[in-house]
Structure 1
């Protein structure tokens, strides 16, 4: 891969690390991220870009127009943190009850670096680059909201490709991982409220106790995928929340609330779960004299890397000194970059930033990241956009 950005990116290392640590120390959760947005806008100021902010979320879209004619390419970074009290013990740790435990602070800093690298070569740039800084990745569907607010047409022309990186603090530093086709699973949920009558714990025969019914439902839900979905079509279903309304130890609950998290890789598996699992839960409850309210919640779709685009990305990454790995199987985690990939062919690439001494996993309150690789991350993003535009210009 052309190394024109590698040399320039190394000169940005200190600045990118400082910005990343500033963002890490002031994480914000969800769709309203005013402090985070302020940092993004500050760092983009003076780069000669068209800047747009979101109406219903704190997004930032920056459009860089090259001096040479050509198509548009989109680069994306997510902005939001998780509602986790940090215990990483790094000097710049957050103390506000939230934490960048999924590396979104690195994503933002890396994309800011790519924006700076490309802006310095605007006179040579063959087309347009759209930089999308997106809130609400952690369950709020911020990517879908940005699309609804016009992200895909922000530059006036639909991008020919979209790229994003996602860091991983358990993957060896510098390793690049991707695959054509399904990259990450869809994420759905199912809320269940099992209703009995409650009563005295000494006289359960005079009540309809929903607790053992809920226990039976839990076992049925946990084993559903193994018996209803082909083993060759991965699906993971877990009960993640459980709560009863009993407020005393000698009182039978009247209601038990449960929630399941559902991960699938195919429309067939998802449709089976959506149709058959509520029916199974309802039958179990009714068999024991309980009522149950079931709400199925569709969330993120499968993240699908465009096969042709991804093979091209892999061919470029293979030119780099970093270790490039073709992922054998998709991850069962999910990503709302999936919404952008439904609109624009593109690729998500995992990037290893495991620190010296190792780290707890993503989403852990002890997760730590090696941010000295931000220059490499920025160079890769800039090079993908640059080379994709050159590819179209040369064709």
Structure 2
């Protein structure tokens, strides 16, 4: 153990050496250069495994293909408490146009801050491993692949169910460049919405376009279904809830004068609560199966992928908000309206009381997430490791 890097807990605000603040930024830059898309985070996983090995942390690898789970045991006293700290790993298939000196070396890009999430968790891991005498219980590090594909979290849980049992708390960050650096949004309930991708098949009867009376036209039926589906949002869903049904793809037909046999429609459903999500899915499924029958056609409905809304635990969120205020000042802990994007952090949040905090990292001139010119203020990483470390030491003391 490096004596110079040991610390003590003083008035709920741990002294963290400047070396960690420098290192977290360097880690982010190195990870930013090697972005990889969902389930192909091979170099990223190797980077994480090498770093963990260097600081003496054992790990489970190849979870959900490229995911990593590692434990740090506290030595303060005997405790069975376990807190999960999670970071997502994957980048996006975007050609980076930021002009940064450490820009991507691949045809992919970390355009959603996942490089920062991993860097925060690695720097936190180093501090905790060198200061394990300051906490009890277990800190479980979860490096998750394939968040952008909405699938990695559920697969990790299914492959390693024992590692997600008897968990006390789950915590994670999402860097958000629409919020000022120094501010951390800790909502008492909803943060992100659910996301479900659906597919609808309408099977009619093909024929000559000049004789529609002899055909069962799936294109005509599909257009009616798309229009009618909006009545689910306006008449079936609670108007105070966020509800979205959007159609993004229609595939059918081979020529202008031929009525096709089948049309396939794909789209997305978004909701801000589990109850609202179930309503939208159920109503759209019923519509998809029943409306085509009115025209003599058949309708099939299926969900291709999906994850629930990200909803913070009220009590734990209040705890994290108070800790944030104690660390950075009363104005630092804020709340924001739920954002209509999704994140399968929601899967981990089913196993224990959880908080997903939005870490402010606004940077002048940078574009929003999932843009080729996305970036964030790297100083937000300092706030990230400081809050994450103090949360562990407070909760597991």
Q: Same fold (TM over 0.5)?
A: yes
- Structure 1 residue 252, shift from structure 2 partner: 4.0
* Count of residues in correspondence between the two structures: 384
Aligned ranges for residues 2-81 of structure 1 at < 5 Å?
A: 2-5=12-15, 7-8=16-17, 10-69=18-77, 70=79, 71-81=81-91
RMSD (Å), alpha carbons: 2.5
Which consecutive residues of structure 2, in runs of 5 or more, have no partner in the other structure? 1-10
Deviation at 1:151, TM superposition (A): 6.1
Residues 321 and 55 (structure 1), Cα distance of their counterparts in 2 relative to 1, 3 Å cut = closer
Tell me the distance in 1 between the aligned counterparts of 2:137 and 2:288.
54
Aligned residue for 1:163? 171
Partners of 1:254 and 1:27 in 2: how far apart? 42
| Counterpart for residue 140 of structure 2 | 130
* Correspondence 1:342-381 to 2 at 5 A: 342-357=350-365, 359-381=366-388
CA deviation vs aligned residue, 1:246-279 (integer Å, no higher than 9, x gap)? 2x44544433211121122334323322322222
Q: 2:326 is paired with a residue of what secondary structure?
A: coil
- For 2:284, the equivalent position in structure 1 comes to 277
Partner of 2:156 in structure 1? 146
Show the 5 A alignment for 1:169-248: 169-246=177-254, 248=255
For the residues of structure 2 that align with 1:173 and 1:199, how far apart are their CA atoms?
A: 61
Name the SS for the 2:385 alignment partner: helix
1:112 aligns with 2:128: no
Q: 1:284 to 1:369 in 2, by over 3 A?
A: same
Aligned counterpart, 2:94: 84
- Bigger mean CA deviation after superposition, 74-83 or 295-304: 295-304
Deviation, 1:77, is 0.5
Q: Stretches of 4+ moved more than 6 A in 1? A: none
Higher relative contact order (CA 8 A, sep 6+): 1
Cα–Cα, structure 1 residues 149 and 279, in superposed 2: closer, same or farther, change >3 Å?
closer
Distance in 1 separating the partners of 2:39 and 2:336: 34
Question: SS at the partner of 1:11?
Answer: helix
Structure 1 unaligned blocks of 5 or more? 391-395
Structure 1 residues 364 and 301, CA, compared in 2 at 3 Å: closer, same or farther? same
> Once the 2 structures are TM-superposed, how far is the Cα of residue 164 of structure 1 from its aligned partner?
0.3
